[in-house]
Structure 1
């Protein structure tokens, strides 16, 4: 019963704080996932473009961001960004420490990292589109924007959804890293609760359960979206013409 008192919503319980931290985790994850999609689309376009410079920049982006620890990216953006802003402010005659907003920095950091994975997911999805469909669209006289709206975007989304679901799960887990910038999400809130009560196992196990609930329900949502996107498509075990 002591455990349920600790995580409950009573005067001695941490239930309200944990619920608010869970909402913060969801908010950061959704925002970072959206930022990652934007970076991924630009990265995919660059890798598929005819420009050597654009392809080189996109390759460097995906190689570097997938090759260094995510925590280091957060440190670089938060502390490095604060130092850069502070240096500029001192040149303008202002003194003191200029900290960046933890939510913005955390969202941007996780989004930039996930964007490197989204780039490869979207690139692979685009390359999975049957070339015959694109050629038929060109022969039919479709312009680039019309072909993008009717063929490329729907088909790319259809093939990208499984990979995007995996990236989403990655983003949720990476959201725990932004606790280092002071944002009170699930990981930081459980650490605060442990420091106040000493009930390490109870709160860390509860934090793990909250992450599991979020990933389980969101994973089910992505699987449902995949089934919706693949409606009308022949199954892998069906007959082929």
Structure 2
């Protein structure tokens, strides 16, 4: 077993680590994009304009109702086709645009993460006491200061547990990108299994790696929650 996991031509240790690096890059790049989509979806859902509310609720409802793997297929094939259509329209003699598996994975995972994050953030915003905002306006604070000094810190505290769960789910969902030929941890595990005919060894290793990533994430999230709740009296 240890020989199979060694470095160099005799083992698969370097390939597995390279796949793990791709998995972490995918998750880390997806997170801020997904959060941005989540904030936009939350603000749209809470808008005073009926059209924006319909768009916000429609987006979160549709995206949360689609399987992640279907979203990945639609993005990988549909966006690539759309980009090439636009490229031909803009420059008929130009070359085709290749939509990379990494970009497709980030786009699809961010769209799904953003839909769920939008609902978490909307609930957090609606949990705020409006009296605090009125107090901020009474002492002359601008809407921008009220948002960044009163609303956002409390929203972060309320939303962090839900966003943490979404992060862990998204971390595991990165395994889906292996079906579009991105050399992540799951795909490199499949390649190693196909070559060595040792499925138990490599799939067990992948399980342990994903489990370790989730445990590490939970430790970090627990620290972040304690920090976000400092000074809060528990009853």
TM-score normalised per structure 1 = 0.92
Q: Which moved more, 1:95-104 or 1:211-220?
A: 95-104
User: Secondary structure at the residue paired with 1:216?
Assistant: helix
1:111-139 residue CA offsets vs partner (Å, 9 max, x unmatched)? 01000010011111111222221221122
Give the CA deviation at 1:10. 4.9
Unaligned runs of at least 5 residues, structure 2: none
Give the 5 Å matches for 1:99-114: 99-114=98-113
Match of 1:59?
57
Which residue number corresponds to residue 167 of structure 1?
Answer: 166
8 Å contact 2:27–2:174 — kept in the other structure?
Answer: yes
Alpha carbon RMSD of aligned pairs, Å? 1.6
Question: CA distance change for structure 1 residues 97 and 196 in 2, over 3 Å: closer, same or farther?
Answer: farther
Paired with 1:8 and 1:186, the residues of 2 have a C-alpha distance of 16
Separation in 2 of the partners of 1:98 and 1:143? 46
Deviations 1:199-240 (A, max 9, x none): 1111111111111111110111011100000000011xx3xx
Q: Could you tell me how far apart the structure 2 residues matched to 1:217 and 1:8 are? A: 24
Of stretches 50-59 and 177-186 in structure 1, the one that deviates more from structure 2 is 177-186
| 92-101 vs 173-182, which moves further | 92-101
1:87 Cα shift?
Answer: 3.6
Which digits, 9 at most, give the CA deviation of each residue in 1:84-111, with x for residues without a partner? 3334455544588643111111101100
Partner SS, residue 5 of structure 1: coil
> 2:88 and 2:31 mapped to 1: Cα distance?
35
Deviation of 1:80 (Å) = 1.4
Partner in structure 2 of residue 15 of structure 1: 13
Name the CA distance, whole Å, in 2 between partners of 1:165 and 1:193. 31
Q: Describe the shift of the 1:132–1:80 C-alpha distance in structure 2 as closer, same or farther (beyond 3 A).
A: same
Query: Deviation of residue 163 (structure 1)?
Result: 0.6
Number of aligned residue pairs: 234
Of 109-118 and 95-104, more deviation after overlay is shown by: 95-104
TM-score by length of 2: 0.94
